[in-house]
Structure 1
Amino acid sequence: MGFLWALLAIVAELGALFGLILLAWTTLYYLSTAEFPHDICDPHRLKCVYFGSIMLFSMDYILWKIGLCNQYSFVKFMENAPPSFKDPNLSIKHLHVEGIPVRLYQSKAPQNAQRGVLFLHGGAGTLGSLDFYERMCRYISKKSDSVVLSVGYSLVPEQPYPVQFQQCLDVTIHFMKHAEDYGADPDRIIISGDSFGGLLAASICQIIALRDDVPKLHSQVLIYPSLQAVKFNLPSFRQNAHVPLLIQRQFVTFALKYIQKNVTLLDAVLGGTHVPKDIKIKYSKWLDTENIPEEFKVREIQASGPRHSFGDLAELIDQLCGPLLSPLLVEDAIIRQLPQTFILTNQYDVLRDDGILYRRRLEDNGVPVLWHHIEDGFHGNLNLFNYWLLEFSCCKGGMDSIVNYIRSL
């Protein structure tokens, strides 16, 4: 018995030492990488959230390296286990469409066909889940009087790129063809998504616009979307390179992992050497910073010197410049066929200028756009909506702008 207690004491001491090392490493990383502008939304709360997220990813990394789980498995486990509460006003059904798990939110009260909202969650194709986005989807469904279908598409590395796009496209087409079976008005179908989900929504909206065998989408709602993978030195990328919850290097790392490319290409991609000169010239008119209003250049930061490329980057070009990863760069003939659009951006977000440039492209081609900009917002702020102490003061205004837009359709 004495031996057992001694063994337990050793394990406890090792656990405490491990915890202290993890805390010290997290603190060091946190202090060396993050920037918190003085007028960002609830900066002290954001510091706590960011610190906690680094602790979570650090634990995930350690468990992965010692072979106890796959990379990001621990993070996925944690985000799939938020407390969920039944809503007395909503019917929430767990279904499968085309073999893909989905979650359907609709009012329990009998009524005429409602708007139908397809929701594609963010997470860089690696993270995100039906559970993690349940609060957001419940709120949109209840407050906008809409049927919301949230899509639980497969993630990498379990399913490689571009399976995520194809699954979301399959569910979208099915929902549009069978909208009435879900209590939705087939003439008022809206596709929406945040961050990576906004990329999926924008790409799918373009594909649907070119097809004659499915109904047309009524609108698209793009929430701080990622819309291009060509120019990572736009003002928002430089200004917010170290602003949580999405720092510049982390974003590009996730992008490379999503398309199964070696992360050693990170510096080459950040420096723009992944795109040849002729491609840059071709897309310069759409990525020119002259298309970004002057007020968004006030915090302009001098661009870093050019980085030299290494390795063969040619195979990246078709993927990163194609419509699945850069819907901002498709031809005007496609843009002109898109439906009315809502775009939400955050001031302190590396993806801010993607949304601003897409707004300009849409408006230049006669597409009606409603743009909502959160002056003190940061990337991913709406993911924390209705998360009690984790909710930020800028969340409700952003969520209500989305709801009000959908209600107007």
Structure 2
Amino acid sequence: MCALLLAPLLALPAFLLGVLVWVILEHFLTTDVPPVLQHRLKFRFLHCMFLYVVTLGNINEKLGICSMAKFFRFFQDCMIIRNDPKLVVTNLRYGTVPVRLFQPKAASFRPRRGVIFYHGGGGILGSLDAYHSLCSFLARETDSVVLSVGYRMYPDYHSPTMIQDCINACIHFLKSLNTYGVDSKRVLVCGESVGGLAVALISQFLLNRSDLPRIRAQILIYPFFQAINLQLPSFQQSQNIPFLTRKFMISCLCNCASIDPSWQDAIVNGSYIPPKMWKKYQKWLSADNIPQEFKKNYRSLVPSPFNEAAYLEAQILLDVKYSPLIAEDEIFAQLPEAFLLSCENDILRDDTLLYKKRLEDQGVPVTWYHIEDGFHGSMILFDKKPFSFPCSLKLMNALVCYINGIQ
């Protein structure tokens, strides 16, 4: 009888250990760790832990216990939140959108800057709690009022809801600037990864809202901008570099856009794009627009034959709401100045380079900061000692320096 009772207790640790061994093998068999990255052993450890939680989440999802996304976010939100004594932190709701406001306690002789922050995570990971310390740091170090937006995510909601939440929160904040002591001429929108997509779309959307204060600057941190040309140099060079591998990126994209995963190959090779559309977008999205120094080991591939069935399934990705890089020149010419931050070892590096070129071609001022030893997701690790990296601190210092320069 005792043996029967002990069996489940012994089975669980054996199962968890087996999963751990599996993900370690997967990491070493499928992951690239560039030599330029500092603290490579720490990087490998963190990625194994990332894979471990994702794999356990996928198992839970298959068993019908809970989705991988919710399982991962549960662990993300287990981090201890420390409130900064120099800030007043307030949880609010703008309609259905949860937001968190960070305000410096010290008196100010004039209205402060306002920073609207949209977190990353591919529309699947991330939360207000996960980015609490980062937003606290920004508010304290830049003496700004920071609004962190907790947009709704997969699996309960899909990307149209996420973008609409981001827009609604921005509009609500812009209408309440006097309440929060924010200077209407110094409002910045800032986003990381998919949060950068939100920033780009909001910057375009607000051009038609003359009733709202104009955004002073857009800040985009290794942003996702398009799912049309996934054969750019960085997509080839960094497809197996954590923490955003091509496999994970396409999985997030299909989940958030409600596209059947069986069409992943068609999305990657571009066969879902009608030839006439690709001819139009090529002038903006072609690898010809990427500087030569970023094309190491790049192979130009022949486009795959058009697949109409794939187009009918994935055509939503050709909408400007998923690919703001395809907005017309007239739109780009009106956009506010931009601070762009890219990482060399990031599959999305070239999205930033293409956006930079489009803005500069239309005469929009651009400040660009490139981190040679940086990788996707490094931002959130800036204060996670002993798991922070030099590139994380470089990123945050560059961001703070730019915001403080907005007078």
Shift of 1:125: 1.1
Letter of the 1:32 partner, please give it: L
Shift of 1:43: 1.7
Residue 249 of structure 2 corresponds to which residue in structure 1?
251
Look up the SS of the partner of 2:68 in the other structure.
Answer: coil
The answer to whether the 8 A contact 1:154-1:164 is kept is yes
Is 1:104–2:92 an aligned residue pair? no
Residue 82 of structure 2 corresponds to which residue in structure 1?
85
Say which is worse superposed, 324-333 or 26-35, in terms of deviation: 26-35
The answer to whether the 8 A contact 2:259-2:314 is kept is no
With the length of structure 2 as denominator, give the TM-score of the two structures: 0.96
Shift of 1:312: 1.4
Q: Which of 198, 221, 226 in structure 1 is aligned with 2:196?
A: 198
Q: Which of 211, 216, 219 in structure 2 is aligned with 1:221?
A: 219
Measured in 1, the distance between the counterparts of 2:242 and 2:67 equals: 25
Measured in 2, the distance between the counterparts of 1:392 and 1:227 equals: 25
Is 1:166–2:164 an aligned residue pair? yes
The answer to whether the 8 A contact 1:135-1:385 is kept is no
The answer to whether the 8 A contact 2:58-2:67 is kept is no
Look up the SS of the partner of 2:214 in the other structure.
Answer: coil
The answer to whether the 8 A contact 1:161-1:259 is kept is yes
The answer to whether the 8 A contact 2:229-2:286 is kept is no
- 1:325-404 equivalent positions in 2, closer than 5 A: 325-404=322-401
Aligned-pair Cα RMSD in Å = 1.5
Look up the SS of the partner of 2:350 in the other structure.
Answer: helix
Measured in 1, the distance between the counterparts of 2:308 and 2:6 equals: 51
Letter of the 1:100 partner, please give it: V
Residue 296 of structure 1 corresponds to which residue in structure 2?
294
Number of aligned residues: 405
Residue 272 of structure 1 corresponds to which residue in structure 2?
270
With the length of structure 1 as denominator, give the TM-score of the two structures: 0.96
Measured in 2, the distance between the counterparts of 1:118 and 1:206 equals: 15
Residue 20 of structure 1 corresponds to which residue in structure 2?
17
Measured in 1, the distance between the counterparts of 2:5 and 2:20 equals: 22
Q: Structure 2: which 5+ residue stretches go unaligned?
A: none
- 1:30-69 equivalent positions in 2, closer than 5 A: 30-69=27-66
Identity %: 37
Letter of the 1:392 partner, please give it: F
Q: Which of 121, 124, 134 in structure 1 is aligned with 2:122?
A: 124
Look up the SS of the partner of 1:187 in the other structure.
Answer: strand
Is 1:74–2:41 an aligned residue pair? no
The answer to whether the 8 A contact 1:41-1:377 is kept is no
Shift of 1:123: 1.1
Measured in 1, the distance between the counterparts of 2:24 and 2:396 equals: 32
The answer to whether the 8 A contact 2:54-2:68 is kept is no
Letter of the 2:100 partner, please give it: R
Measured in 2, the distance between the counterparts of 1:16 and 1:133 equals: 32
Shift of 1:309: 6.6
The answer to whether the 8 A contact 1:268-1:308 is kept is no
Measured in 2, the distance between the counterparts of 1:328 and 1:310 equals: 23
Measured in 2, the distance between the counterparts of 1:183 and 1:262 equals: 46
Measured in 1, the distance between the counterparts of 2:64 and 2:171 equals: 40
Letter of the 1:250 partner, please give it: F
The answer to whether the 8 A contact 1:342-1:371 is kept is yes
Residue 236 of structure 2 corresponds to which residue in structure 1?
238
Look up the SS of the partner of 1:394 in the other structure.
Answer: helix
Is 1:184–2:178 an aligned residue pair? no
Say which is worse superposed, 73-82 or 309-318, in terms of deviation: 309-318
The answer to whether the 8 A contact 1:41-1:376 is kept is yes
Measured in 1, the distance between the counterparts of 2:232 and 2:12 equals: 44
The answer to whether the 8 A contact 2:272-2:310 is kept is yes
Measured in 2, the distance between the counterparts of 1:279 and 1:29 equals: 38
Measured in 1, the distance between the counterparts of 2:42 and 2:283 equals: 39
Shift of 1:19: 2.0
Shift of 1:33: 1.2
Letter of the 1:263 partner, please give it: P
Look up the SS of the partner of 1:162 in the other structure.
Answer: helix
The answer to whether the 8 A contact 1:268-1:309 is kept is no
Look up the SS of the partner of 1:150 in the other structure.
Answer: strand
Letter of the 1:143 partner, please give it: E
Measured in 1, the distance between the counterparts of 2:163 and 2:113 equals: 23
Measured in 2, the distance between the counterparts of 1:360 and 1:266 equals: 28
